[in-house]
Amino acid sequence: MEFLSNIMVDALKFFAFFGGYGWGIVWLTIAVNLALYPLTFSSVKSMGAMQRLQPKLQELQKKHADKQELQKATMELYKAEKINPLGGCLPVLLKIPFFLALFWAFQSTAFLQIASDPANNTGFLWITGNVSGQAFHSEELVDKLDGAKVIIYDEEGSRKFNDARYVWDVAMEVGDKRVKDILWTANEKKPEDVKRVEEEFAPVVKLDDAETVNTILAWKDTNSLAKPDRVKTPFGAISILALLVGLTTFLMQKTMPTAGAAGQQMQMMTWFMPLFLVFICWNFPAGVQIYWLVSNLVGAAQQYLIMKGLDRKRNKKEAKNEKCKDEGKEC
């Protein structure tokens, strides 16, 4: 997996030339989906064919009471119609290694060093990649963390926002952990978390309880590709990207060809899967969330175009057959 992770980081560095690392993830995602397009075409075509085959499958179920005979007749029907019943699964399975490689790439030291360098363009939409010095609620705390190199002054970001901006050195090692690992799940409302963060930062910077709480709050106020997306709302801090992943998954499943018992199962999954994905995506790095979201959008576009093309081809063929029938010819 480390080999694939390194390839993903190198690919991100290449695509980052076209708008920065946020857009680099978008271009990389599109490239992966285009590379898998032949398999996606085969998958959508197979699912559509399975859907149209349902009346014949239902006739076989009525005709064969014995399960072995039914299974044999079903496989013969698939063979005659040139349909692979498992053809719809292959693109999904092949996308998994890419997803895992990218997930580990965003956890790798190589990418964390990219995210820790203010000179790199890691902003995307509302994800700035830096945090305002005001988020720490204390100039003394900012000076402490800056002096310890836990945060790094972002000169370009400060000019852009007309405000002192800082980038977390998420790759910085403090003892046997990195800054990212120390703050990732810290909760400022839990005394045990505050004490843990305070103790783990002790080798590089001495913080009291109030400063530790403000450090955790500033971390939560930071939107970066290397940490989960969080946006403040009247309902609390939410991950817009995770919600969009769930929404696009729901819309994709609603428009996906379904059939028979598999179709009934898909209807159940249409509601369960998006909620499940929102749950597991909530604490993924924003970079992974962007990859998943864009992959859904590209996949939906491909699915729509493929289905429209197949429908057009099928309608043309049916019209031709009807014309031949009317003229008493064989086509």
DSSP string for 52-86: HTHHHHHHHHHH--SHHHHHHHHHHHHHHHT--TT
Residue 195 has pLDDT above 90, yes or no: yes
Burial 173-210 (b: 16+ CB within 10 A, else e): ebeeebbbebbeebebeeeebbeebbebbeebbebeee
Q: What is the pLDDT of residue 308?
A: 78
Q: What is the pLDDT of residue 92?
A: 62
Residue 196 has pLDDT above 90, yes or no: yes
pLDDT digits (tens, 9 = 90+) for 211-267: 999 999 999 888 888 888 888 778 777 888 989 988 888 887 776 655 444 455 556
Q: What is the pLDDT of residue 33?
A: 84
Q: What is the pLDDT of residue 260?
A: 47
Residues 92, 285: Cα–Cα separation, whole Å: 21
Residues 89, 182: Cα–Cα separation, whole Å: 39
- 257 or 70, which is more confident: 70
Residues 11, 25: Cα–Cα separation, whole Å: 9
Residue 139 has pLDDT above 70, yes or no: yes
Q: What is the pLDDT of residue 194?
A: 93
Q: Show me where the domains of the chain are located.
A: 2-105+240-322, 130-222
| 3-class DSSP assignment, residue 49 | helix
pLDDT tier for residue 53 given thresholds of 50, 70 and 90: low
Contact 91, 39 (CB under 8 A): yes
Q: What is the pLDDT of residue 184?
A: 85
Residue 284 has pLDDT above 50, yes or no: yes
pLDDT digits (tens, 9 = 90+) for 14-47: 998 888 888 999 998 898 888 877 777 777 666 6
Contact 126, 239 (CB under 8 A): no
Q: What is the pLDDT of residue 84?
A: 62
- 141 or 84, which is more confident: 141
Residues 28, 34: Cα–Cα separation, whole Å: 10
Q: What is the pLDDT of residue 261?
A: 47
Average pLDDT over residues 130-136: 90
The single residue listed with the structure tokens 């990649």 is 129
Q: What percent of the chain has pLDDT over 90?
A: 18
Average pLDDT over residues 50-66: 68
